[in-house]
Structure 1
Amino acid sequence: MAAQRAFTTHPLVLRRVTVRRVTDVTPRMRRVVLGGDQLRPFTRDGIDHPAFAAPGFDDHVKVILASDGDVRAALPAQLPHGIEWTPAENRLTRDYTPRRVDAAAGEVDLDFVTHGDGPAAAWAASAREGDELWFVGPKSSLRLPERLDWILLAGDETALPAIGRFLDERPVDVPAHVLVTVPDDSARQELASREGDTVTWVVAEPGDAAALEAAVRELPLPEGDGYAWAAAESRALLPVRRYLLRERGLPKDRLNVTGYWHRAETAPAEAEAPAAPEAAGVPSPVPWLVARAALQLGVVDAVADAPGIPLGTLAARVGVPAAGIGVLLPLLAAHGVVVGDEDGLRLGAAGEELLDDHEREEYVGHEAELLLALTELAPALREGVAPWQRASGGTLHEAVVRDAERYGELVEECEQLVFLLSGLTADPLWSGVGTCLLTGPGSASVVAALDDAGHRPALRVTEDDVPAGVLRARVTAAERVDWTGGPADIAVAAKALAHRTDEEAAALLERLAGWVPRVVLVEASRPDGLSPHAAEAALHAYAATGAPLRDATAITALAARTGWQVRRVIPLGWGAEATVLERGGTAAV
């Protein structure tokens, strides 16, 4: 049986609230009390929405602001069950933790650090009774493990709303060990600690990684089953995460470290480095390749495990001649991966980031392999094949069905689907469904979404042996699933086409035609409007399959060539859609 899910999902709703009261909690933090009818169940544009719910102590809502003051033009589109982030050049978003939620009064408190020049701080500094604010979320709430003996809550002053709410509401009845760094004593707040708790205040500049790490190291954490939660400036948390994982041996499912904000200024190592030559403003790929090599050789991990390691010792540990490591060092140092000299090397800020599993995937994971396939982009375009196929001699689908690690990365990428699938699970098409056939790396998310919606069809999965083994480890109560496939009332193919060429996608649809009368394709049809890499989305899709993101026209063409008809499309948000296909008949208009 899979482990307990780490979060509970919530419907994504755009809400308008107004300022009711403003108070200064400290000279550096302002509390804005917001209220309005849209915190209760309400109807807008014919769509019914549930009441605001933020049960978790570290839930966050996404506040929407506008660079030019025209907030209405910056708002996303509300779907019946989700949000679509339409393009808006003036949109600014910031995440904030509800400090207090009072459903009876129809109020929610947001605390803003006002010592800064960001758009949210500026809005809070001038907020007056009656001012409006729009926000979306929360999309999920953290589920703490059922068995705990203690909890660590650490962070800077931006973490105080979450820490304060935890201590007020006590979602778990265990001693809390609190550590907060503040820029001066005036930023301290009264916290609802009780017997058995410890509270430590440390005066340090915002974003001071060394001070935060040193303070966490000094905490005498008790024995037993613990949980560590930390929130602060993103880079300042990197050594804290490394310490808790690598030195204290805290399991990953007992650790939640979240970057609440990002320091704007350039890191010193980057500022002092000589500028690399660039052609027409296009950055060189050489630093990326060097960082990739350092990860593949184990250089980053070796330096992390032995800070201050001499070059010769490092070379022996990773099995590379010292001269070879020396070739990498200048660029690794120039870009902040390592600091120091041959007598003693330590990780820099960029190196600390590379210890994060998601960050390193950009260099050595599936995403990196797709990027390398783009070296064949020009000939692939001429030949009309996927760059992956041109580079490797086989399709991406052929590769992932043989490689558990690679397929596992696809499954992890699909974990975000669970936040979007309420539009699908709320659809009437589930009426009378007794058996559901699943395929694709998003299958585990579909199972979770069906569970959340209260649907209990018999479940079947059709996948090759390796993908099925990966999914079996990710699905809650995997023993209830028939892993041999077979006939069903409906099939859901969740991101099953994203790693298939058109020919492979058509073959899948033909196979499903022998088992089900209706198929739902869950795919990204357009880039995520909030993603900083939205411009690259179509290229990444092309690298994988030889086709850009498949929109309605492409899906309709695939359906037609395999005897399916598009009945309708259910928008899910964030660029994703669920396309309902049925056999024969007349296509929907």
Structure 2
Amino acid sequence: MGSQRAYTTHPLVLRRVTVRRVYEVTPRMRRVVLGGDGLAAFTRDGTVHPAFAAPGFDDHIKLILAADGNIQAALPAQLPHGIEWTPAEHRLTRDYTPRRVDLQRGELHLDFVVHGEGPAETWSASAREGDELWFVGPKSSLRLPEQLDWILLVGDETALPAIGRFLDERPLDATAHVLVTVPDDSARQELALRDGDTITWVVAEPGEAAALDAAVRALPVPAGEGYAWAAAESRALLLVRRYLQRERKLPKDRLNITGYWHREEATAPETEGTADVGAVARNPTGSRIPSPLPWLAARAALQLGVVDTVADTPGIPAGALATRLGVPGPGIDVLLPLLAAYDVVVSAGDGTGLRLGPAGEELLDDHEREEYTGHEAELLLALAHFAPALRDGMSPWRLASGTTLHHTVTHDAERYGELVEECEQLVFLLHGLTADRLWEDVGSCLLTGPGSASVVAALDDAGRRPRLRIAEDATPVTVLRGHVPAPERIDWTPGPVDVAVAAKALAHRTDQEATLLLTRLAGWTRTAVLVEASRPDGLSPYAAESALHAYGATGSPLRDAAAIAAVAKRSGWDVDRTIALGWGAEATVLRRT
């Protein structure tokens, strides 16, 4: 059976609301009650948008603010089925969890930490009746397992809106064990506890990892089937994640841990939306172009097993570490000072040996280490060959490895699996495709590409039920079987269909390989859809790097409409139309000539 989806998607709609009232919940929490026609269904530019829906207790909406006060210039473009984040120099966004949604009254309640810093807290401090606020979302809602005996809810004061909403609405009938860290007793709130529930308040400085970790470890282990949910400062949760995953051994589908904010020097928590900055990426030299040495050292530490070994045996001496890893002592002695300089490991200097530093704790997280050892890391290393590849007219990946990226990933299940996981976000963008008129007479659909699982999920969400085929090589088929909902309903052999959807299938192919794929599709259908990113995500801090990464992979930049049309024409297709999906992604509908 395929993996069970852990969330329900929602259409992305830009909404305007106004302030109805503001009051203090505690000396440290301000509640702003918002309302207006923007919460109801409405029509904009001829498109009917659904009423606001945020059924999950930890749903997130994205508030949109403007540093220069010009909110109209900061707003994204509303598509018929999605949002396009157009460039906006002064746009600021912050994520918040609705504390309460009252659709009968047409009201949305948001809680703001009073003693935080930043644009959202500043806005809430001056909010008065009638003031406007724009937001987008939520894009999805968490699906909790149906049968649970208990749930653990852990967080700091920024998590109180989600925890309070869970206790008010009780999305499942399970005993709740709550642990909240607050900077002082004035931040405590009255919460809707039931018989059997427990609550632990811990006074600790915001973002204090040791206090949160110790408090979670001190909780009794309940009997039966359980689920752990945690939200707080991102680094403070690293120890909690390590404890629940490695020691309590909670399965991934029974664990949801989210960094709501990121502590930097001289800042306090404002909200859930502060961007994380990897500690290993810090640049102490102050130069405009940072050295790659810290990244390479972190990569070596993960590849050799330094991080995991020090995590499992804290206090291990450097000599014992070298022996355990089977590497020469002088080599470890070269690596350790750089790792210590970037807080990957720390040495107490009193003979107690090595322990993980804050950056090392981050590298225990699977998503963090992928930056250094996963598919994206390999692409980054291939860019060392960028100049000669540019001269030779080939992709840096091919020059570095001797083969194309497509050939590599289709023969390596782990690499293809990384592509499939990257494409999981695609499901939030496919409303525009699944709502399109092309599905009106479609009885059968062929899918290809690492985004195929997301397309299946999106068709399910939209109530589309065509007969499904998947056309892929043997290794990708094995990977996709583990990600597609209900794989037994799918025909895993190619054949004639009404429409074919290639989901992120071109992103790892050269132009020649893309032409060959489209030629193959022409043998099975007269209508094809290409789902690809044609420009960088407007909210991404790495937008300037997108074209270079794409070129490193395939020898082509991000393919815009003209490039897609050129590849299509070479394989006997004409572009019928383009469906904007948002976040820089598009669905290009092709017809056979």
Give the structure-1-normalised TM-score.
0.97
Q: Deviations over 1:193-217 (max 9, x none)?
A: 1111110000000010111111111
Matched, 1:440 2:440: no
Shift of 1:46: 1.6
Comparing 1-10 with 132-141, which one deviates more in the overlay?
1-10
Letter in 2 for 1:559: A
Q: 1:309, 1:547 → 2: CA distance?
A: 47
**Per-residue displacement from partner, 1:171-192 (whole Å, max 9, x unpaired)?**
1111111000000000000000
State the SS of the aligned residue for 1:2. coil
**Percent of aligned positions that are identical:** 77
Instruction: Give the match for residue 313 of structure 1.
Output: 320
Kindly state the Cα deviation for residue 347 of structure 1 after the two structures are TM-superposed.
1.2
RMSD (Å) for aligned C-alpha atoms: 1.5
**1:529 correspondence with 2:522:** no
Q: What aligned pairs does 1:294-333 form with structure 2 within 5 A after superposition?
A: 294-333=301-340
What code does the residue aligned with 2:333 have?
Answer: G
- Count of aligned positions: 580
Partners of 1:252 and 1:316 in 2: CA distance: 33
**Paired residue secondary structure (1:380):** helix
Secondary structure of 1:93 counterpart: strand
Distance 1:50 1:368 in 2: 41
Letter in 1 for 2:317: P
3-state SS of 1:43 partner = strand
Q: Is the Cα–Cα contact under 8 Å of residues 308 and 344 in structure 1 kept in the other structure?
A: yes
Preserved CA contact (<8 Å) 2:85 2:539:
yes
Q: Which whole-Å CA distance do the structure 2 matches of 1:174 and 1:322 have between them? A: 52
- Partner Cα separation in structure 2 for residue 217 and residue 32 of structure 1: 35
Distance in 2 of aligned mates of 1:266 and 1:253: 36
Equivalent residue runs for 1:65-464 within 5 Å = 65-265=65-265, 281-341=288-348, 343-464=352-473
Shift in CA distance, 274/121, structure 1 to aligned 2, threshold 3 Å: closer
Contact 2:3/2:482, CA 8 A, preserved across alignment:
no
Contact 1:94/1:120, CA 8 A, preserved across alignment:
yes
Matching residue's letter, 1:330: P
1:266 Cα shift? 8.2
Distance 1:39 1:559 in 2: 42
**Residue 451 of structure 1, CA deviation:** 0.4
Give the Cα separation in 1 of the matches to 2:589 and 2:120: 41
Alignment of 1:464-479 (within 5 A): 464-479=473-488
User: How far apart are the structure 1 equivalents of 2:501 and 2:383?
Assistant: 31
* Paired letter, 1:107: E
Question: Match for 2:138: what amino acid?
Answer: P
- Separation (CA, whole Å) in 1 of partners of 2:435 and 2:228: 36
Partner of 1:544: 553
Question: Could you tell me which amino acid in structure 1 is paired with residue 226 of structure 2?
Answer: G
Letter in 1 for 2:326: G
Distance 1:310 1:266 in 2: 34
Q: Offset of 1:4 from its aligned partner?
A: 2.0
Gap runs ≥5 in structure 1: 585-589
Q: Which amino acid aligns with 1:182?
A: V
Q: Deviations over 1:272-303 (max 9, x none)?
A: x997657x621111110010000011111111
Match of 1:587 in 2: none
Take 1:340 and 1:188, find their aligned partners in 2: how far apart are those partners? 38
Conserved? CA contact 1:311–1:343, under 8 Å: no
Greater shift in the superposed pair: 18-27 or 219-228: 219-228
**Alignment check: 8 A CA contact 2:283 2:290 kept:** no
- Give the superposition deviation at 1:224: 1.9
Tell me, yes or no, if the aligned pair for 1:184 and 1:204 is still in contact at 8 Å: yes
Q: Look up the SS of the partner of 2:485 in the other structure.
A: coil
- Does the residue aligned with 2:482 lie in a helix, a strand or coil? helix
Of 504, 507, 513 in structure 2, the residue corresponding to residue 498 of structure 1 is: 507
Deviations 1:56-109 (A, max 9, x none): 000010000011111111000000000000000100000000000001110010
The question of 1:25 aligning with 2:25 is answered: yes
Separation (CA, whole Å) in 2 of partners of 1:443 and 1:499: 14
Question: What is the TM-score with the length of structure 2 in the denominator?
Answer: 0.96
- Counterparts of 2:46 and 2:395 in 1: how far apart (Å)? 44
Letter in 1 for 2:439: W
What amino acid sits opposite 2:563 in the alignment?
A
- Distance in 2, matches of 1:45 and 1:24, equals 38
Q: Which 5+ residue runs of structure 2 have no aligned equivalent?
A: 268-277
Q: Aligned-pair distance for 1:314?
A: 2.0
Kindly indicate whether the alpha-carbon contact (under 8 Å) linking 2:80 and 2:432 is maintained by their aligned counterparts in 1: yes
